[in-house]
C-alpha cells in the first residue's frame, strides 16, 4: 500500500470514527442533562418516615446515618428551607420535610450504555485523560491531512479555508454573545 496524505487521512478517520460517534452522542446527551439525566433514573420510589429531632441542629451525620441505615450507605445530606435531602452511595436519595419527617426515598440507576457513555466527558481517570489528549491530537491530524488533500475547485485553498474560518469563529461569537 502506498502511503499518501489521502490514505493517512482516510485511515485515521476510519480508526477514530467509532469514538467520534460515541463521544458526539454522549456530548449531546450531556448538553441536555437538565431535561433528561441518564446518569440516574428512578426505578423505585416509596414513602419513608424519619423521626426528626425537635431541633434541626440535632440532624447530624451520625444521627441521619443511623436513622436511615436500612436504605443504604449514607453519603451526606443537605438541609434547605425545611427540606432535608439525604444521599446514599448506591444512588438512593431521600427527600424529607424536616418538620414532619414525612418523605420519599428514590432508588436510581444509570440508563444502560447512555448513562455510562456520559463518563467519557466527565471522567478524570488518568488513562482516559491521556486517551482524550491523543484523540484531540488525532483530530488535529485528521483536520491537517484533510486540508492538504488537493481537490479541484472546492479545495481548501479555494473554498475550504473560508468555511474553516467560519467554523472557528462560530463558537467564539457564541461565547461572546451568550456568556
Per-residue pLDDT of the chain in tens (179 residues, 90 and over written 9): 688 777 777 777 777 777 777 777 777 777 777 776 666 666 788 999 988 887 777 888 898 899 898 888 999 999 888 899 999 987 889 999 988 889 999 888 877 777 766 766 677 778 877 877 887 888 888 888 777 777 777 677 777 778 788 888 887 888 788 87
Say whether both 137 and 156 belong to one domain: yes
What is the C-alpha separation between 12 and 34, in angstroms, rounded? Answer: 35
Long-range CB contacts (< 8 A, 24+ apart) of 126-132?
none
Q: Please indicate, yes or no, whether residues 28 and 54 belong to a single structural domain of this protein.
A: no
Count: domains in the chain: 2
Q: 30 and 80: one domain?
A: no
Domain boundary among 109, 138, 168: 109
Instruction: Give the residue carrying C-alpha cell 469563529.
Output: 169
Residue 46 shares a structural domain with residue 97: yes
Range of the domain at 78: 41-109
3-class SS of residue 151: coil
Claim to verify: residue 81 and residue 169 sit in the same structural domain:
no
∠ CA(150), CA(155), CA(157), 5° rounding?
Answer: 100
| Residue reference for cell 487521512 | 9
What φ, ψ does residue 125 adopt, rounded to 5°?
Answer: -65, 135
Amino acid at each position: 500500500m502506498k502511503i499518501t496524505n489521502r490514505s493517512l487521512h482516510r485511515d485515521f478517520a476510519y480508526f477514530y470514527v467509532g469514538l467520534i460517534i460515541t463521544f458526539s452522542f454522549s456530548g449531546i446527551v450531556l448538553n441536555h442533562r437538565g431535561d433528561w439525566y441518564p446518569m440516574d433514573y428512578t426505578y423505585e420510589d416509596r414513602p419513608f418516615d424519619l423521626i426528626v429531632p425537635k431541633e434541626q441542629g440535632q440532624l447530624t451525620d451520625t444521627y441521619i446515618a443511623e436513622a436511615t441505615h436500612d436504605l443504604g450507605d449514607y453519603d451526606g445530606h443537605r438541609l434547605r428551607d425545611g427540606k432535608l435531602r439525604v444521599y446514599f452511595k448506591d444512588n438512593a436519595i431521600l427527600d424529607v420535610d424536616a418538620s414532619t419527617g414525612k418523605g420519599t426515598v428514590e432508588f436510581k440507576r444509570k440508563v444502560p450504555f447512555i448513562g455510562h457513555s456520559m463518563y467519557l466527558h466527565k471522567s478524570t481517570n488518568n488513562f482516559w485523560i491521556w486517551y482524550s489528549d491523543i484523540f484531540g491530537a488525532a483530530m488535529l491530524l485528521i483536520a491537517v491531512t484533510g486540508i492538504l488533500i488537493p481537490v479541484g475547485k472546492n479545495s481548501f485553498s479555494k473554498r475550504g479555508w473560508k468555511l474553516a474560518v467560519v467554523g472557528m469563529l462560530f463558537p467564539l461569537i457564541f461565547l461572546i454573545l451568550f456568556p
